[in-house]
Amino acid sequence: MVHVDYFTDVLCIWAFIGEKRLAEVQANLAEDIEVNLLFLPNFSACHQKINKGWSSKGGFNGYAEHVREVAEKFEITLHHDTWFKVRPSTSLLAHSVIKSIANTAGPEKAAQYCSSVRNEFFKNAQDISSLTVLKASAEKLNINWHAVMNDYNSGHGLAKLHEDFLLAKDYQITVSPAWVFNEGRQRLIGNVGYRVIEANLRELIEQKPMPQLWC
């Protein structure tokens, strides 16, 4: 079994585009890989990030137009209000809730919820930095919100999220999405095509990595 650490941010357009590739990998290599969903703090402070990074390129509207153009290149149509009018303040709340769902309902349900939340923002222009929106998304998937909030209020979800950030720092991962496997020795970062991802994973599946030798 090949262990894969998959780093992402729910508000990252490239991770939204990459969801199809992730789904294909999990469908085609289900018996041979285990995907561990992890998060980055790339959009932990959206307004500060975008106002600073895009101050000379049109600010929020410039960034929103950029995201729309990126999506169109992959034949994806976003809601016309995404980033133009609906501007989440942070991805941290969604990430910590997803971690609490993993703790209470398991990693598969957490991954399903993560995809649902991402779609709520990019396709439906819902503000996923709102706990009300996150709760509604959970209820659509029949997730026990009371159990999730008990875990979240205990700090367990936040603690798990902090572990993700520490691991990303150890791997020196800052870009979403990022695939890390072979105990951190192999990394695929950003907009990587499915065939490249599959080829790297199949190599590990079919030929177990050689022991790392001291020179």
Q: Which CATH number goes with the domain that contains 66?
A: 3.40.30.10
pLDDT value at residue 88: 98
Residue 175 resides in a domain? yes
Residue 159 lies in a domain: yes
| 44 within 8 A of 91, measured Cβ to Cβ | yes
Closest C-alpha to 13, from 101, 93, 74, 94: 74
Q: How confident is the model at residue 215 (pLDDT cuts 50, 70, 90)?
A: very low
Q: What's the pTM?
A: 0.92
Q: 28 lies in which domain range?
A: 2-206
| Amino acid in the structure at residue 101 | I
Assigned domain for 96 exists: yes
Residue 215, domain member (yes or no): no
How many domains are contained in the chain? Answer: 1
Query: Tens of pLDDT along 85-122?
Result: 999 999 999 999 999 999 999 999 999 999 999 999 99
Q: What is the pLDDT of residue 208?
A: 58
Res 204: pLDDT: 87
Residue 211 lies in a domain: no
**Would 131 be classed as within a structural domain?**
yes
d(CA 99, CA 96): 5
Phi, psi of 20, rounded to the nearest 5 degrees:
-65, -40
Residue 82 has pLDDT above 90, yes or no: yes
Residue 136 to residue 93: CA distance in whole angstroms = 14
- Compute the average pLDDT of residues 52-58: 95
Instruction: Please name the residue that has the structure tokens 């590739």.
Output: 21
Residue 212 lies in a domain: no
| pLDDT tops 90 at residue 134 | yes
- pLDDT of residue 72 exceeding 90, the answer is yes
Judge whether 213 lies within some domain. no
